[in-house]
Amino acid sequence: MLITCTNCATSYQVAASSLGPGGRSVRCARCQHTWFAANTEAMADVAEAHRADLATIAEDPPTLAATPPAQEPTPAPQQAAEVDQALAGDTDVSPPAWPEPLPAPDDPPPPLIESPPLAPAAPVAAGEDIESVAARRAQRQAAHQRRWARSRWTVAILALVATYLMLIGWRSDVVRWLPQTASLYAAIGLPVNLRGLVFTGVTTERETHEGVEVLVVEGTIVNAFKRAVEVPRLRFSVRNTSGYEVYSWTALPNRNALLPGESVPFRSRLASPPRDAERVHVRFFSRRDLNAELP
């Protein structure tokens, strides 16, 4: 059967036979409080038997036998003489003294049975209340949430750093996959050269040959890669003061390939350049130029 502590409301499952038919005092294993636990099952059995007896008596009432009238006890001779003297007024007669009651034996204290201990939901230290346990649990949860927030920020920062290093270290591959990003790298001072060839020492000069003005463009091509690179055709363009291209032409380099660190000079001439020519732009011939030449 189930009994409950009247102090802390802790419930215990005990056998009804351990309480006896009339119940007994028990002690709570948690708060050490003692209370009287009644055997409700035995009381229910007694009540059921009493109701059965009442039902039997109602069905067959017992026949009461006639009892003779009570007779007054005959006083002893000495006691009768004392009564007569009291009636005559000769002497004082004390009423008979009642026998003193025997002292009741001391009732032994009811036996105490230890209720079976129940495993608490969480270990509680001795002398610690539920508020302290809840506060400690809340502190642990708050510390766990702070650690989780710090770890998320750490992962986010590491991801940003890795992305930055990848975009900077592998910018050549990024531009190869996304050519439109080349202008972005050039804007932040990290131009990307997919060919690995660099123009150095480019100069322009105007000369007169047999009365004809000639524009001379010369410079050097250097292989900046760690492998051999093929040198494509060169493209020259003349631009005016507004930056618009007014004329262009192409020329073949002196060598078709360069080993790592090698260089090759180039020189090109344009007779009768446009009068509004302001500057000359030199680059390698690309597929875009080939598409522009097609009708």
Tens place of pLDDT per residue across the chain (295 aa): 778 888 888 888 777 777 777 777 888 888 888 878 877 777 677 767 777 777 777 766 555 444 555 555 554 555 545 445 444 444 444 444 445 555 555 556 656 555 555 544 445 455 566 778 788 888 888 888 888 888 888 888 988 888 877 777 777 777 777 777 777 777 777 777 777 899 999 999 988 888 899 999 999 999 988 889 899 999 999 999 888 899 999 999 999 999 999 999 999 999 988 888 888 999 998 877 777 765 5
Task: Assess whether 199 and 278 both reside in one domain.
Answer: yes
What pLDDT is attached to residue 267? 93
Same domain, 145 and 214: no
Q: Are residues 189 and 244 in the same domain?
A: no
Within this chain, do residues 128 and 215 fall inside the same structural domain, yes or no? no
What tokens were used for 242?
Answer: 């507004």
Residue 102 lies in a domain: no
Among residues 175, 194, 213, the one where a domain terminates is: 194
Say if CB 217 and CB 202 are below 8 A apart. yes
Number of domains making up the chain:
3
Same domain, 112 and 10: yes
Q: The domain that contains 273 carries what CATH number?
A: 2.60.40.10
- Which one, of 249, 250, 239, lies nearest residue 274 by Cα? 239
Whole domain around residue 261: which residue ranges? 195-293
Q: Domain boundary at 194, 226, 247, which?
A: 194
Dihedral (Cα; 257, 260, 262, 264), 10-degree rounding: 30
* CA–CA distances in Å: residue 220 to residues 12, 30, 198, 202, 235: 98, 95, 8, 7, 14
Examine the domain organization and report whether 128 and 220 are in the same domain.
Answer: no
